[in-house]
Structures are given as structure tokens and as C-alpha cells.
Structure 1
Amino acid sequence: MQGALRIGTAAFNAGDHRAAHEAWEEPWLALESGTADERLLHGLIQYAAATHHARLRNWSGARRLAASAAAYLSALDDGYREMNVAAVRTHLRRLAADPEFAERRRPLSLQHDGAALTPADLSFEQLASVATLLAEEYEAFDATVVDDAIRYARGELGDDDSPPEVTATRSRGFVGMLFDFADTRDGRAVVYDRLSRHVERRRSRERDVDGLFE
């Protein structure tokens, strides 16, 4: 549950609202209806959807989903699961009353344990989950390229899933490119192009080695 909250929170704050929805959907479906965890994830999923509709200027959809999301979160403690539930509820109620408010203000950032997480704050394995979700969400990205990049990055890390504070670990090779891919929404296409070229070069070397034994 905590991992899903961190992954979805980071994706949402990076502006990838549909990817955040996907991060929360699977654990949400496994929960019993009406439990506190189910209501939290249901509310967050609908917050992400309301934000997506507001971005598309679908005001009726944004209003409906914002009101429903606020209702799901209404019975939860203000800081349930270390999320900023109270602030999200307030934002949702304002969005439900005036969905065009979304044009005047950025979506309220989600916070987990007091921090507005972005992909750069995640462990590598959590970051890999975000990158996978993005590759599945957007047709411009080849999921097999991202899968291989993650495999190569794991080889760079070995058994060291370093904490996010170790910026030197993130700054080079496939690890660094994957962090950039997940954390740089506006420039993601450029990062992906560089990532795909590096993946193809590594694949080519692997094919050359395999050919030696044929």
C-alpha cells in the first residue's frame, strides 16, 4: 500500500495523472469496498481523473469526479496514511463548485509523509514502476525499450537499490536516463530518444556476443 501511494503520488505531482490512476487501480481493486484504504485510493483515483478532465476543459466531468472524490475522502482522518487528505478534500470541494478554477491554479500537489514527492524522490524500483506505467500509457514510447532500459539499469546497480539522496548513482548510465524520463514531463520525448538509442546500442552488443556461439 505504501509503495503504491508513493508511486502514484510521484506520478501525479509530475503531471502524469493517468499514470497515477493506474498505479492505484490494482491495489484498490483488491480492497474490500468501504474500508478506509479503499476509500483513500478510490478518492485519489477520482482526484486524478478530475484533474485530467479539467486539463481537457471537460468541466462537467471535472465537477462530477471532484464531488465524488471529496465524498470518498470525507470520512478519513486528515492525515490518513500520511497523505494530505484534508487539503485534498478542500481542493476537491472548490473544484466541484467551480471547475474552471483549475485554469487559474495548478492542481494541488499530493504529499506523503510531509513531502510532495516526485519521481526523483523514489527508490529505483519505485521509479522503474513509474517508467513502466508511462511506457504503457503513451503510444509514443515503446514499452520494450523501457523494459530493457530497466534491465540494464538493474545491472548497473547490482544489489544496490540506493536511496534517492545518492544523486551520483542517478546521474549516469541507464539509471540516470530512467530518472530523467520519469521526472521530466515537458522534455520526456527528448530523453526517450536518447534512452532508446542507448538501448539499441546495448542490444546490438548483446546480439554480437550471442552470434559468437552460433
Structure 2
Amino acid sequence: MTDDTPATTADALLAGAAAHNVGEYDIARAIWAGETPLAPAPAADDSLRTGLAAFATAVLDGRRGEWGAALAGAEEAESALADSDSSAPAGVDSTSVERWLAAFRADPEVAERSPPPRLDIDDDEPTPGELPLSATALVAVAVATGIGDDPEVVIDAVRYARDSDHPETTRYATFVRDYADADAGQRPIVFERLSAMVQRERRKEEDVSGLFD
């Protein structure tokens, strides 16, 4: 089943920033670019998300030593972020990103010597485990898609959480946050537990549905 509650552009900005801040640059790029389930595609005039996705591309390609692709990403990011300066949502600070891009274009090996700047939104540096459910769901689904876990497990967990009177404090929300925030070694364990919870709830739904067949 799918979760019919759409994520917003603000959710995508926050989720991408949180993933970026813990070094999940590929996850951040996919969310900003709208390339994973639940993540809204950026509007044609959304220069901020376009610029951030290109920034993440520059970071990823730079860390791989793919300088041509990295510099092209940096150039695209600089252009898009310059266009977004007057229209960026309040609370989103891209100044440090623009400084890093300028330094990177002058000396691409800066990507190998030091990590890119962390992103600040509303005077905070978000991480996946601290996000509201609507944003952490984007990170968790992007992670599942990226590493080969079943994203439908995460999507159903989010739906079950939202069916509660207090979605943010359900066990489902807790496990979704834990999965989004876990390191590579812990994620299989967290996903196994989350999947078991979801499977139990799915069986309950099937039992109820069978009563009316």
C-alpha cells in the first residue's frame, strides 16, 4: 500500500539537509532531486532544490575523483543557487554552500581534503533522527531504495503511524527515525524489526478484510 499524504518541498529541503549533515550525500541528492518514492519533484522554478542537488552531485563526484563531472555539478549549483537567493524560503541558509562551491571550483581537491559544510535550516543543523515524521520518512525511504531494502515497508510504517492519534510518538515513527538515522552496520537490524512490526499490522488488515469477503 502507499501513503497518500504528500510530502512538501519544505519536507524535502529538511530531509535532504539532514541526510547531508550525516554524510549521506547520495541520499541527500536523491531527495532534493525528487528521485525517490514519496519525495516531491522540484518545480521548474525551484532553483534552491536544483542547486542543492547539483551541489551534492559535485560533492559525490569530487570525492570519487571524477573532476570533470564534479566541476560541471559545481557550476550548475552556483548558477541555480544564485537564482534562488532572492526567492529561497526563509530559514534556509545556502551561504556556506556557495562559499564551498567557489573554493571547490578554484581547487577541486578540496573535496578530498575536507568534508563539505553542514547545512543550516532555521538556525539548526538537522539530522535524520530529529526530524518530523513527514521529513524523516523521505530519508528512510531513500535509504531503503538506495541499499536494496523494501521501501514499501517504510511507506506502510509511515501510514500506520499516521493512522494513530499521535503519529509522531508511535513505535512506527520511532523505528522509521531509527532506520533513517542508523549507521550502515545497524540498519539491517533496525529494518528487520521494523519489517516484523509492519508484517504483523499487514496480517491484521488482511484478517479484517477477509471478514468482508
TM bracket, shorter-chain basis: 0.7 to 0.9
Paired residues of 1:181 and 1:192 also in contact (CA < 8 A): yes
Could you tell me which residue of structure 2 aligns to residue 159 of structure 1? 165
Whole-angstrom CA distance in 2 between matches of 1:70 and 1:29: 17
Whole-angstrom CA distance in 2 between matches of 1:129 and 1:28: 12
Distance 1:75 1:29, change over 3 A: closer
Matches within 5 A, 1:60-209: 60-74=68-82, 77=85, 80-81=88-89, 82-138=91-147, 140-155=148-163, 158-162=164-168, 169=169, 173-186=171-184, 187-207=186-206
Paired residues of 1:76 and 1:85 also in contact (CA < 8 A): no
Does residue 31 (structure 1) correspond to residue 44 (structure 2)? The answer is: yes
What root-mean-square deviation, in Å, do the aligned CA atoms of Structure 1 and Structure 2 show? 2.8
**Offset at 1:44?**
0.7
Structure 2 length as normaliser, TM-score?
A: 0.77
Could you tell me which residue of structure 1 aligns to residue 19 of structure 2? 11
Name the % identity: 35
| Count of aligned residue pairs for this structure pair | 198
Whole-angstrom CA distance in 2 between matches of 1:42 and 1:174: 31
Q: Which structure is higher in RCO with an 8 Å CA cutoff and minimum separation 6?
A: 2
Structure 1 length as normaliser, TM-score?
A: 0.77
Amino acid at match of 1:30: A
Amino acid at match of 2:102: R
**Offset at 1:177?**
1.0
**Offset at 1:88?**
0.7
**Offset at 1:207?**
4.3
**Offset at 1:181?**
0.7
**Offset at 1:49?**
1.0
Distance 1:78 1:92, change over 3 A: farther
Whole-angstrom CA distance in 2 between matches of 1:88 and 1:106: 12
Paired residues of 1:78 and 1:86 also in contact (CA < 8 A): no
Gaps of 5+ in 2: 1-8, 35-39
Whole-angstrom CA distance in 1 between matches of 2:172 and 2:42: 33
Paired residues of 1:40 and 1:73 also in contact (CA < 8 A): yes
Could you tell me which residue of structure 2 aligns to residue 35 of structure 1? none
